[in-house]
Amino acid sequence: MQWRKIIKNLFTYTPSAREPFILLEGSLSQELERESDNDREKKPVAEPLQTPTRRLRKPIKTKDLKSRTTGEGETEASNSGTSGGGTDDGGKEDGDDFISPDLETNRRLLAEHFYLPQNKDVVIRDFVLPQDRGGMIVYIDGIVNSDWVMYSILQPLMVLSGHFQSPSEQLEPTSNLSKRDFKALLDHLLPVHQLKMIDKMSDAVSAVLNGLTVLFMDGVAQAAVVETRFFPNRSVTTPMVEAVVRGPQEAFTESQRVNVALIRKAVRHRGLVTETVDIGENMTAMILYMAHVANPALVAEVKRRLAGIRGSFLREVGLVEQMIEDHPFSIYPQVTTTERPDRAAAMLSEGKVVIVLEGSPFVMIVPTTLFNLIKTPEDLYMRPFFGTFIRLIRVFAIFVAYLLPGVYLAVINHHQALIPTDLLLAIAGAREGVPLPSWGEVLVMELSFEMIREAGIRVPGVVGPTLGILGAIVLGQAAVQAAIVSPILIIVVAITALAAFAVPDYSLQFSTRIIRFIYIVLGWSMGLYGIVLGLAFQLVYTAGLTSFGVGYLSPVAPATKVDSDIVLRRPIFSQATRPDYLQVQSGRRRKQPDISRLWTLEQTGQTGSKEQTADDDQESNSDRDGDRDRNRDRDRGPEEES
């Protein structure tokens, strides 16, 4: 009979004291009705965080559970109903988000949001006005300027408010203070450069997390957000990734404000507009564009994609870049990232959009093309011949980094007839005694050089570059002496590594390194036919990519009418128009007159070109007048137009 009891216990559910469980809302209400008031205080219900994630017919809200266990639900519900004006659950949630005129209610909500008093860096500072009206300020210690808090907020309110007379009533603690009088009080007393009024507690929490100070006043169903941000940041230094010999030696920092100021310093034009877009959780991105040049559809698309991002940690441009790309699984970067303000300023003048994040020393520029990734600001600072020569070197380096190991394998394995006899004998002699096949040699050395490169980046300080150089020399010499690889392969791998470093864009370097292994496989398996097939596929694939609707190979594919600054750099005084693939606003294709060197006209005594220059200036003025007229027509209503 014992085994029957064992089977019965196995198939009979008996709640255990150690087994977590969830009571449905109906059973919970019945349980609480049967309990007396004394028992309810002695027997608390388990917190929601201790319950397993099991599907319920109607989930229990944390607010409802606390109200039923502590007896404070009726007061909270009545306050929320008064604020929100709703009777259902959704209305209560919306009402609870509004700031209450009761100072203690706001204090309790802030304590729940910031886990007080466990959280020690969130400060709630109480103060009392001379009229005995209470208030409090909330901020996070360490990311605000304490002097601003003391001398711009507390001192004026606690000392000078006694001399302020409200337009409609005195600041007595017995009566509620209207929002208008509260705003008038702050406008008269607080010597701050930015002040914003908010009505929701969620906005107050977000402001505190972003380094602002939030001011609450007893009897006012509103709060004031005061600018007191003072994040620790480093000073402006020289560029580390995009270093140049000629040109500005300033780089972006981790401060969003400093980065925008650096761009403003380079672009001193009234048309530069800065807007903010909330992304993720308590993160704000700033977008910069030339209002009179950039395509409004492009600006709207950038805002739409940024506003549609949901994430808890988006503090680096690499994370946001993956969220807004047209082709997130593509091997090519579709967003230009730069640490140089002069490069961002140059692309802004063309009609592109710059995205700046807090906490990242890089900014994003959209849209981008493959030809933008092989250009550097130094190309414009040098003479046209030098800039063209360096660009041709970069293009040649990209093809070498792509193809050299694959072509080497294709020739020595499938097309020995293409090699001169002397060179073929030299290669055969060098490979004599090598135990590995040719493809094994290439893979071993390529992977070894990739490890050396990665180790050189991760080693701190000045040891990294030294480790990379010494590691490559020692490894190559030891491999040749041990007859593991042939000496000619060391030359091939070294040239390939140098060519990869010649690619100016860091993200494009990674693409080059990965695509090289694909060509290694194609060259070993199919010879030169595989290389040609890979090039054709890569060309078709790249031509099909887009960056915010702009072709990745623009202005070559699709071909456009105007943009000669692709590889061959023209003189700076002859680059008079903006790229047409950006579809800038009407009448803004010209960024400088056709004749921008007026002193040449004075020397030659030409007059027709002067008239042409005057026509260009007149065209620019007419464009401005046309924009002004369009803005006026847009502001006028249909009745005024009729």
CB atoms within 10 A of CB 74: 9
* Predicted pLDDT at 233: 82
- 438: Cβ contacts below 8 Å, ≥ 6 apart: 408, 409, 412, 413, 431, 524
d(CA 255, CA 360): 7
Among positive and negative, which fits the CA dihedral 361, 365, 370, 372? negative
pLDDT, tens digit, 9 for 90 and up, residues 465-483:
777 777 777 888 888 888 8
* Predicted pLDDT at 66: 38
Q: What are the CA-CA distances from residue 581 to residues 75, 196, 365, 499, 573 (Å)?
A: 62, 40, 15, 30, 21
* Predicted pLDDT at 56: 33
62 part of a folded domain: yes
542 part of a folded domain: yes
Pairing between β-strand 283-290 and β-strand 122-128 as defined by DSSP bridges: unpaired
335 and 270 together in one domain: yes
Average pLDDT over residues 241-252: 90
d(CA 549, CA 304): 14
pLDDT, tens digit, 9 for 90 and up, residues 302-315:
999 999 998 877 88
Three-state DSSP at 513 gives helix
What is the band of 68 on the pLDDT scale with cuts at 50, 70, 90? very low
pLDDT, tens digit, 9 for 90 and up, residues 355-380:
999 989 999 999 999 999 999 888 88
Q: Is the pLDDT of residue 161 over 90?
A: no
Q: What is the 8-class DSSP label of residue 357? A: E
* Predicted pLDDT at 205: 93
What is the band of 163 on the pLDDT scale with cuts at 50, 70, 90? low
Is the CB of residue 423 less than 8 Å from the CB of residue 486?
A: no
Average pLDDT over residues 481-487: 84
Name the strand (E) or helix (H) holding 292.
none
274 part of a folded domain: yes
Q: How many domains is the chain partitioned into structurally? A: 5
* Predicted pLDDT at 580: 84
* Predicted pLDDT at 311: 80
573 part of a folded domain: no
Task: Output the six-digit token pair for 60.
Answer: 């229990």
What is the band of 348 on the pLDDT scale with cuts at 50, 70, 90? very high
pLDDT, tens digit, 9 for 90 and up, residues 109-137:
999 999 998 999 999 999 988 778 889 99
Phi and psi dihedrals of 596, rounded to 5?
A: -95, -5
* Predicted pLDDT at 81: 36
Full residue range of the structural domain in which residue 616 is found: 593-642
CB atoms within 10 A of CB 287: 20
Residue where one domain finishes, among candidates 528, 551, 574? 551
| Closest-CA residue to 144 (of 119, 126, 121, 112) | 121
Residue where one domain finishes, among candidates 368, 393, 409? 368
300 and 193 together in one domain: no
Percent of the chain surpassing pLDDT 70: 74
Q: Is the pLDDT of residue 622 over 70?
A: no
d(CA 533, CA 571): 37
pTM confidence score: 0.75
Average pLDDT over residues 324-350: 93
Residue where one domain finishes, among candidates 321, 345, 368? 368
Mean pLDDT of the chain: 78
Phi and psi dihedrals of 171, rounded to 5?
A: -85, 60
Percent of the chain surpassing pLDDT 90: 41
Average pLDDT over residues 144-162: 86
47 part of a folded domain: yes
Average pLDDT over residues 169-190: 76
d(CA 632, CA 634): 5
Residue in the structure block whose two tokens are 């917190």: 47
195 and 265 together in one domain: no
- 518: Cβ contacts below 8 Å, ≥ 6 apart: 534
356 and 396 together in one domain: no
* Predicted pLDDT at 481: 82
* Predicted pLDDT at 17: 38
262 and 212 together in one domain: no
Q: Is the pLDDT of residue 164 over 90?
A: no
405 and 358 together in one domain: no
